[in-house]
């Protein structure tokens, strides 16, 4: 199961999982984008379930999980990739709606999905839960206070969950990427997009967790561009 699989990082993760032979439950809010992802995977409808879901909806995670179980009967890999971040906004001007959506999509939904997956994986004899956080969990800019808090919370949740679930053969890991060149980051003269990470770089980190030996769990993987994209382009 991959959330936020309609584009960007989520799509790249879905594609690499499909190449490794996994059937997929791909979830997002836009059917057209998910249909394109499915087409790119080459998987038949019997091996690729599309679920339209808004993870800010309190019932969204459970509805998504139940749909996947009804279709496939098990879940071996959960990738909590979906996220939300409004444009950088000073804390005193941040709307309650944006605050609540960040908390719901970036933290509440991944926790809910991980909890349900852990129960199922324990019955199956193991599995992998991979959360996609952000370097904002460590160092952030003004205007990202709540976003940073949600991602830092996801990192802490991952580490605590690993401590709880490791004896049940469940891997729990968090990927902490720096700047990734996706449509979510608008054009910006201060950024050299050629130096940013690609969505495929993050997908490779996810697969490092999924394919790690049974006795190994990469609990936290930080992936940064080798050179700093935030340095202005030369004149």
Q: Domain holding 24: CATH number?
A: 3.40.50.720
pLDDT tier, 233 (very low <50, low <70, confident <90, very high otherwise): low
| Structural domain includes residue 17 | yes
pLDDT tier, 232 (very low <50, low <70, confident <90, very high otherwise): low
Backbone angles phi and psi of 220, in degrees to 5 = -145, 125
The residue among 146, 74, 164 whose CA lies nearest residue 105 is: 146
Catalytic option among 147, 165, 197, 210: 147
| Structural domain includes residue 230 | no
The residue among 160, 173, 184, 177 whose CA lies nearest residue 219 is: 173
The mean pLDDT value of the chain amounts to: 95
| Structural domain includes residue 49 | yes
Structural domain of 65: 2-223
| Annotated catalytic residue 22 | no
Average pLDDT of the segment spanning 81-105: 95
| Structural domain includes residue 234 | no
Q: How many Å apart are CA 68 and CA 91, to the nearest integer?
A: 37
pLDDT above 80: residue 122: yes
pLDDT tier, 235 (very low <50, low <70, confident <90, very high otherwise): very low
According to the 3-state scheme, what is the secondary structure of 1-64?
CEECCCCHHHHHHHHHHHHCCCCEEEEECCHHHHHHHHHHHCCCHHHEEEEECCCCCCCHHHHH
Percent of the chain with pLDDT over 90: 90
Look at strands 170-177 and 127-132 and give their pairing: parallel
| Structural domain includes residue 228 | no
| Structural domain includes residue 127 | yes
pLDDT tier, 234 (very low <50, low <70, confident <90, very high otherwise): very low
Q: How many Å apart are CA 34 and CA 22, to the nearest integer?
A: 17
């Amino acid at each position: 199961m991959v959330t936020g699989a309609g584009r960007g990082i989520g799509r790249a993760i879905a594609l690499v999982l499909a190449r490794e032979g996994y059937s997929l439950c791909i979830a997002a809010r836009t059917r057209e984008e998910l249909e394109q992802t499915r087409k790119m995977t080459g998987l038949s409808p019997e091996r690729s379930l599309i679920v339209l879901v808004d993870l800010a909806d309190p019932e969204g995670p459970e509805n998504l999980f139940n749909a996947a179980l009804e279709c496939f009967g098990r879940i071996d890999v959960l990738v909590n990739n979906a996220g939300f971040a409004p444009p950088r906004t000073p804390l005193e001007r941040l709307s309650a709606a944006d605050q609540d959506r960040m908390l719901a999509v970036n933290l509440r939904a991944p926790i809910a999905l991980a909890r349900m997956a852990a129960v199922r994986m324990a019955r199956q004899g193991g599995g992998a839960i991979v959360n996609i956080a952000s370097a904002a969990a460590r160092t952030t800019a003004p205007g990202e206070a709540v976003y940073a808090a949600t991602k830092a919370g996801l990192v802490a949740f991952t580490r605590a969950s690993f401590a709880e679930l490791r004896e049940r053969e469940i891997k729990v890991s968090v990927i902490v990427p720096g700047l990734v060149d996706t449509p979510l980051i608008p054009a910006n003269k201060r950024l050299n997009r050629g130096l940013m990470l690609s969505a495929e770089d993050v997908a490779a980190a996810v697969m490092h967790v999924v394919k790690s030996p049974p006795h190994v769990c990469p609990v936290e993987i930080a992936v940064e561009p080798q050179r700093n994209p935030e340095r202005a382009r030369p004149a």
